[in-house]
Amino acid sequence: MNTHFTRRQALFGLAAAAAPAILPARLFGANAPSKKIHLAMIGTGRQAYYTNLPTLLAMPEVRVVSVCDVDRHRAEATKKKIDEHYGDTACRIYQDYREALEMPDLDAVMNSTPDHWHAIISLAAIAKGLHVSCEKPLTRYLTEGRILADAAKAKGIVFRTDSECRSHSYMTRTADLAINGYLGNIKRFEVGVPKEIDGYLGKADPMPVPAHLDYEMWLGPAPFREYTLDRVHPADLGGRPGWMRILDYCEGMVSNWGTHLIDVASLINGSERSGPISVEGTGKFPEPGSGLWNTLLEFELQYQYANGVVLDYKMDVPYLRVEGDEGWIQAHWNSKGGIKASDPKILRTPFKPTDKRVPTRGDKADFISAIRNGTQVMADAEIGHRTCSMGQIGHIAVTRGKRLEWNPQTETFANDEGANAMLKGTYRGPWKLEP
């Protein structure tokens, strides 16, 4: 009796009860096609091309089998890079993510699309039983994140929120020392993120849509607006795209960079699957009519937790400061800022065998390892959603101009129905969330 031996069985090391007596040698070993994770790149912009793709191509257990982008030039440039790496032309190109998700023998998706597409595309992949790594911030609106986290859990797939911050050496060192009590009882966090908009606010004048761009599909669930270069992305793969500074598609730095550094603060605080109980702050938006871009120019926020800990969050430089009753550590994102402590001896503290340690895998290695070994990722959909929600409720507090009481269990504001209305986005037909 012959037993069907599927590619996915081979991927997870599941042997069939019987197998053909003779098979080609290339089907065996660590690099056998059946044992590679077949991955689709959905979204091939700057982050995907320069950061996500090179890491995935360097992993022998992964095969990038397709690229999908509404910008044909970007998709073709990415396919060329993939084909040159593998030495063939097998990589497929799609312009519609729904077609990309139908590709046979697909295992996983790297979602590097603009924020307003994260939830819809990730949910579609989850519904097909595909593993998902999705760029941060996880969603544009808070209610999208709740739906996404619940769907990933219900389906039982591997879902990773794609932030490299937990793999950053300064951040892991800070977390290890703080979690194991080397700073005493934690009292306060301080998080800084860089300023993004400085002077130039983008040109709003309508322009002809480039022939290589499916602009209608790029807009997707977002409101219709006339095309202009500063609304979408540069013609090449350089520079930050304009959509990151427009509220229809992204909340700007308060959610973008914040989901790196606040994630580590939440890990240390033990609140990575819950949240604060209040938020208040001030901020400044561009003056109406001053340009196309309209995300926060500056902000200062404060969150309070049920355990008495305070988190202060502002535009500055990217860093995390952790203060305990026995000392503090301040870790910067870049090597120039470095890492420092109230006493340099703190940073040289030797760990005990019984101390808890934060995993140090790279972000993509974490995702692929979880798929192959059935283990947990460092930041799943629930953690990614909770981290993203910090920026989202902070943004709402600035907009409402008052202190807001937050219930992390129900994920609603206790004292402002207008603020609650801002937790949910609207979608341009025919797009909708399908958990």
Please classify residue 106 by burial: count the beta carbons closer than 10 Å to its beta carbon, then call 0-12 exposed, 13-18 middle and 19+ buried.
buried
CA 17 to chain centre: 40
Mutual angle of helices 258-269 and 381-400, in 10-degree steps: 110
Query: What share of the chain in percent tops pLDDT 90?
Result: 86
Residue 415: pLDDT above 70?
A: yes
Question: Where do we find the tokens 């059946």?
Answer: 34
| DSSP 8-state secondary structure symbol assigned to residue 307 | T
The confidence score (pLDDT) of residue 11 equals 56
Q: Is the peptide bond before 359 cis (omega within 30 degrees of 0)?
A: no
Torsion, CA 313, CA 315, CA 319, CA 325, rounded to 10: -30
CB 377 within 8 A of CB 167: no
What average pLDDT does this structure show over 300-320? Answer: 97
Closest CA to 357 of 178, 138, 106: 178
pLDDT score of 358 more than 80: yes
Contact 257, 193 (CB under 8 A): yes
Q: In percent, how much of the chain has pLDDT > 70?
A: 92
Give me the pLDDT at residue 335, please: 77
Q: How does residue 238 score in pLDDT terms, banded at 50, 70 and 90? A: confident
Cis amide bond preceding 276, omega within 30: no
Q: For residue 14, what pLDDT is reported?
A: 32
* DSSP secondary structure letter of residue 243: G
Domains of the chain: 7-164 (3.40.50.720), 165-358+378-435 (3.30.360.10)
For 148-164, what is the mean pLDDT? 97
Instruction: Please tell me the distance from the alpha carbon of residue 381 to that of residue 147, in angstroms, as a whole number.
Output: 10
**Per-residue model confidence (pLDDT) at position 32:** 53
Is the pLDDT at 110 greater than 60, yes or no? yes
Asked if 434 and 148 touch (Cβ cutoff 8 Å), the reply is no
Q: How many whole angstroms separate alpha carbon 433 and alpha carbon 120?
A: 6
Look at residue 27 in the predicted model and tell me its pLDDT.
33
The pLDDT, as a whole number, for residue 410 is 98
In DSSP terms, 404 is beta-bridged to 279
Least confident of 115-119, 185-189, 334-338: 334-338
Mean pLDDT on 179-189: 98
Query: pTM to 2 decimals?
Result: 0.92
Q: Compare 430 and 25 and report the one with higher pLDDT.
A: 430
Question: Is pLDDT larger for residue 391 or for residue 14?
Answer: 391
CA distances for 9 relative to 158, 186, 256, 305, angstroms: 17, 46, 38, 45
CA 24-29-35 angle, 5° bins: 95
